[in-house]
């Protein structure tokens, strides 16, 4: 997604775990090149260590179609999935996150510097969205609380 500052544009690439709606990888930069999306994906892989066969869904942006991006998916034995051309509803969850961060943070301020916007976005994702923002889909729990509740229930079932 795009973020305007008085110093110029910033671009945010995000990777969401659909199970918990947690943002597990993200990258922000001054260009919207494949490196931006690769960094977000690498962060998500490092955090989640996904198993073979994980389905990774994205839109049809050129960054997600790049050889390097798809090589990383193949290397990790992930299955790539892409939205239909021009259909944002196919990627509704991440589109919803981007709309939410814009409404709750980005559009509320006039960003003088890129660095100020980056710091605020980092805080929003790590200290608010993932840890405190409640989601109706998750029974009004935050992504982190939902994951912890599911982890505890798995322990009770198996243990």
* pLDDT tens-digit readout, 70-107: 898 889 888 877 666 766 666 788 889 999 999 999 99
pTM score of the predicted model? 0.87
Give the tens place of pLDDT for each residue, 111-144: 999 999 999 999 999 999 999 999 999 999 999 9
Q: What's the sign of the alpha-carbon dihedral 55, 3, 43, 17?
A: negative
CA 119 from centre of chain: 17
């Amino acid at each position: 997604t795009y973020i305007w500052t008085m110093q110029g544009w910033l671009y945010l690439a995000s990777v969401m775990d659909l199970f918990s709606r947690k943002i597990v990888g993200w990258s922000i930069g001054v260009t919207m090149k494949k490196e931006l999306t690769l960094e977000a994906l690498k962060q998500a892989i490092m955090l989640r260590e996904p198993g073979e066969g994980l389905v990774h869904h994205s839109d049809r942006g050129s960054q997600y179609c790049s050889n390097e991006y798809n090589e990383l998916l193949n290397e990790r034995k992930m299955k790539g999935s892409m939205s239909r051309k021009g259909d944002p509803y196919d990627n509704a969850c991440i589109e919803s996150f981007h709309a939410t961060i814009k409404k709750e943070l980005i559009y509320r301020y006039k960003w003088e510097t890129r660095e100020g916007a980056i710091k605020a976005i980092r805080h929003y994702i790590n200290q608010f969205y993932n840890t405190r923002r409640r989601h109706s889909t998750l029974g009004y729990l935050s992504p982190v609380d939902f994951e912890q509740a599911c982890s505890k229930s798995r322990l009770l079932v198996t243990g």
